């Protein structure tokens, strides 16, 4: 029986290599079960500090407009959040990163915490995190399939057999996406059409974004606030009507 906690003694050029149960390879922290929990938690901490920078650009009255904030968020936050996402996209801990990305999208869109998360990608015109990771995975495997001299191509042609059904390595997901002719924008449109989120009918195609992102920050936030007030008033009126019927 193999002891997974046994420390290995490896000597390289006469120097003993320090053992680590969670080594970092090409910027990815590995664990013995390949859950990528440690890596995602570290990434989450990085995102928190970067989101604070975006927050400083989004002053209520003087902040940057929506387009500028979107560009800055994609460059500063999403680039970190999606680093090597093709490897850990099937991890059960990805929600921790999605939570941080939702916070970033709230800043860009000028919305509050009570805003349904389904609306955040629409208001910021950014593909949902889950779909972005799928797109990245499929793009990588498709590129490797065209570059037959690459190491990744040879590895994808000689993948090991799965011993546990619970395991979901990225290459199996990539095959599923390729066979289903997956397109991120198409799936987002279909998901949005079938969603029951409130007022979803106001937007027919989430890929087109919403108007007004080029408005000054104070005007954009004012519009979001007015919409929130109208929604609250409508809910209050519905509650009063239901109360009258009950009485």
Listing DSSP states for 94-118 in one string gives: HHHHHHHHHHHHHHHHT--TTS-TT
Kindly state the average pLDDT of the residues 211-218: 71
pLDDT at 246 over 80: no
The structure's pTM equals 0.80
pLDDT at 183 over 90: yes
Give exposure, 147-159, as e/b (b: 16+ Cβ within 10 Å).
Answer: eeeeeeeeebeee
User: Residue 231's pLDDT is what?
Assistant: 47
Alpha-carbon distances of 204 from 190, 191, 195, 200, 207, rounded to whole Å: 10, 11, 12, 8, 9
Give exposure, 185-207, as e/b (b: 16+ Cβ within 10 Å).
Answer: eebbbeebeeeeeeebeeeeebe
Kindly state the average pLDDT of the residues 130-145: 92
User: Residue 234's pLDDT is what?
Assistant: 54
List the structure tokens of 151: 């190491």
Task: Supply the DSSP symbol for 16.
Answer: E
Please give the Cα distance from 176 to 172 (Å, whole number).
Answer: 6
Please give the Cα distance from 105 to 69 (Å, whole number).
Answer: 9
Q: Are 72 and 217 in contact (CB under 8 A)?
A: no
Which of 17-26, 162-171, 199-208 bottoms out in mean pLDDT, i.e. has the lowest?
A: 162-171
User: Residue 59's pLDDT is what?
Assistant: 73
Kindly state the average pLDDT of the residues 14-40: 86
More confidently predicted of 241 and 67: 67
Q: Where are the domains of the chain?
A: 29-246
Q: Of the candidates 145, 73, 136, 81, which has an alpha carbon nearest to the alpha carbon of residue 109?
A: 73
Q: 121: how many CB neighbours lie within 10 A of its CB?
A: 23
pLDDT at 170 over 70: yes
pLDDT band (50, 70, 90) for residue 172: confident
pLDDT band (50, 70, 90) for residue 24: confident
pLDDT at 242 over 90: no
Q: Of the candidates 92, 109, 93, which has an alpha carbon nearest to the alpha carbon of residue 43?
A: 93
User: Residue 87's pLDDT is what?
Assistant: 92
For the chain, give the mean pLDDT: 83
Q: Are 97 and 129 in contact (CB under 8 A)?
A: yes
Please give the Cα distance from 204 to 221 (Å, whole number).
Answer: 23
List the structure tokens of 129: 């995190």
Q: Percent of the chain beyond pLDDT 90?
A: 42
User: Residue 61's pLDDT is what?
Assistant: 66
- The strand pair at 28-29 and 24-25 is best described as antiparallel
């Amino acid at each position: 029986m193999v002891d997974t906690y046994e420390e290995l003694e490896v000597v390289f050029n006469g120097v003993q290599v320090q053992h680590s149960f969670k080594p970092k390879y090409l910027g990815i922290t590995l664990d013995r079960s390949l859950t990528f929990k440690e890596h995602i938690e570290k990434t989450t901490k990085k995102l928190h500090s970067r989101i604070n920078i975006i927050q400083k650009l989004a002053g209520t009255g003087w902040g940057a407009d929506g387009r500028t904030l979107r560009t800055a968020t994609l460059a500063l936050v999403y680039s970190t959040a999606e680093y090597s996402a093709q490897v850990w996209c099937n991890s059960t801990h990805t929600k921790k990163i999605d939570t941080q990305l939702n916070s970033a999208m709230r800043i860009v869109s000028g919305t509050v915490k009570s805003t349904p998360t389904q609306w955040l990608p629409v208001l910021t015109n950014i593909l949902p995190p889950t779909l972005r990771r799928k797109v990245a995975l499929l793009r990588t495997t498709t590129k490797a399939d065209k570059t037959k001299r690459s190491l990744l191509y040879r590895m994808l042609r000689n993948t090991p057999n799965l011993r546990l059904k619970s395991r979901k390595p990225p290459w199996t997901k990539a095959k599923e996406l390729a066979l289903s002719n997956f397109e991120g924008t198409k799936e987002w449109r279909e998901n949005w059409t079938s969603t029951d989120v409130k007022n979803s009918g106001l937007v027919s195609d989430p890929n087109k974004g919403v108007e007004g992102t080029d408005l000054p920050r104070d005007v954009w936030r004012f519009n979001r606030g007015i919409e929130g007030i109208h929604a609250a008033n409508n809910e209050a009126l519905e509650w009063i009507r239901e109360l009258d019927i009950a009485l």
